[in-house]
Amino acid sequence: MSPDLNNLIKGIYLFSNLNDVEIAKISAICRRESFPRGKLIFSEGDPGDKLYLITKGSVRVSKKIRAGKEQVLATLQAGDFFGEMALIDEGGRSADAWTEDASELISISKNDFATLIFREKDIATSLLWNIIRTLSSRLRETDEKLKNLVEFKIGI
Amino acid sequence: MKTEALKRVYLFQSLKNTELELILSIARRWKFTAGQTVFREGDEGDRFYLILSGEVRISKQVPGIGEEALAVLKPGDFFGEMALIDDAPRSADAISNQETTLLGIERKDFESLLFLNKDLAYAVLWAFSRTLCQRLREMNDKLQAMLAMRGGF
């Protein structure tokens, strides 16, 4: 695919350890998607079939607390990725994803991802390490949020 | 016997015996007396532990309340696995309840081993990813439930 796409992919943390040949293999399974501002990309509970990379714009990941109220889990920018849990397990989407601005995304389907990393163990190792580090930092952030809530309750 | 113990750890479940031997080759035994501290909350975490014999309690110091035990771990149980993937500080205390022997694996040795053995890395890292995903899902649900409750006040 285009050298342009390769450069965009290189800028994503998930792929930061890959060499040019490996980046080209990733690029071959990427699709570009454009979204206007304020658009729902997926809803909590939807079957997860794609990973998304942000090349332009920003995306809000949030959970519905009750009708008309949401809790923002993260606001993601160009270079960030989301929806990675869909590539790893069979659970549905764990939150909603909305575009905050007009956004350019790159998507990778679950099947293509699984096939690629099964064939290419070097790519697999590098990507899995980065996914693990990302999940672990998201886990710690969520744990902090939970702790703050518990303290808030005790403080009442 | 030790490869059997390792096999009970979810990260190593799908490994072949030869791969388990590789994991064992980077593991070291640590002996603790009753009441001895393995690590404290806030310590830098760089080692994963599997209990071979004895007992370890995981607890937190709660201001104004004292020690709150979170879990008591027995032979075959393990703890501190997050230390294999990042250098965040320990999130709780670990103290041996009796004479205890632990099998410890250091992060830098683990990383080198996985770097040199791609098939092993593939199996272990997949298992790790799945577990973290599951924990994150559970935690997100808990967060959602707590926020809904708070909103009800």
Residue A96 distance to chain B (closest CA, Å): 12
Question: Is the model's pTM score more than 0.90?
Answer: no
The 10s digit of each residue's pLDDT in A32-44 is: 999 999 999 999 9
Question: How far apart are alpha carbons B50 and A39 in whole angstroms?
Answer: 47
The 10s digit of each residue's pLDDT in B15-64 is: 899 999 999 999 999 999 999 999 999 999 999 999 999 999 999 888 88
B70 touches chain A (CB under 8 A): no
What are the Cα distances from residue B22, in Å, to A132, B8, B18, B117, B128? 22, 16, 7, 9, 18
Search chain A and give the residue with CA nearest B83: A136
Which of B122, B117, B126, B86 has its CA nearest to residue A125?
Answer: B122
B129 touches chain A (CB under 8 A): yes
What was the pLDDT predicted at A152?
A: 63
Amino acid at A148: N
Question: How far apart are alpha carbons A119 and A127 in whole angstroms?
Answer: 13
B146 contacts A149? CB cut-off 8 A: yes
Search chain B and give the residue with CA nearest A94: B137
A91 contacts B137? CB cut-off 8 A: yes
- Are A72 and A62 within 8 A, CB to CB? yes
The 10s digit of each residue's pLDDT in B116-136 is: 998 899 999 998 898 889 888
Q: ipTM value of the model?
A: 0.83
3-class DSSP state of A45: coil
- Are B48 and B93 within 8 A, CB to CB? no
pLDDT surpassing 80 at residue A126: yes
> Residues of A at the B interface (Cβ-Cβ below 8 Å)?
63-66, 69, 71, 73, 85, 88-89, 91, 94-95, 117, 121-122, 124-125, 128-129, 131-133, 135-140, 142-143, 145-146, 149-150, 152-153
B37 touches chain A (CB under 8 A): no
Search chain B and give the residue with CA nearest A135: B132
The 10s digit of each residue's pLDDT in B12-26 is: 888 899 999 999 999
Residue A60 distance to chain B (closest CA, Å): 15
Residue A7 distance to chain B (closest CA, Å): 26
CB contacts of A139 in chain B (<8 Å) are: 132, 135-136, 139
Question: How far apart are alpha carbons B84 and A129 in whole angstroms?
Answer: 11
B126 contacts A125? CB cut-off 8 A: no
A143 contacts B91? CB cut-off 8 A: yes
Residue A130 distance to chain B (closest CA, Å): 10
What is the DSSP annotation of B36-54? Answer: -EEE-TTSBP-EEEEEEES
- Are A89 and A32 within 8 A, CB to CB? no
Which of A57, A63, A54 has its CA nearest to residue A37?
Answer: A57
Could you give all domains of chain A from N- to C-terminal order, each with its CATH number?
3-154 (2.60.120.10)
Q: Per-residue confidence at B82, pLDDT binned at 50, 70, 90?
A: confident
Question: What percent of chain A is predicted at pLDDT more than 70?
Answer: 94
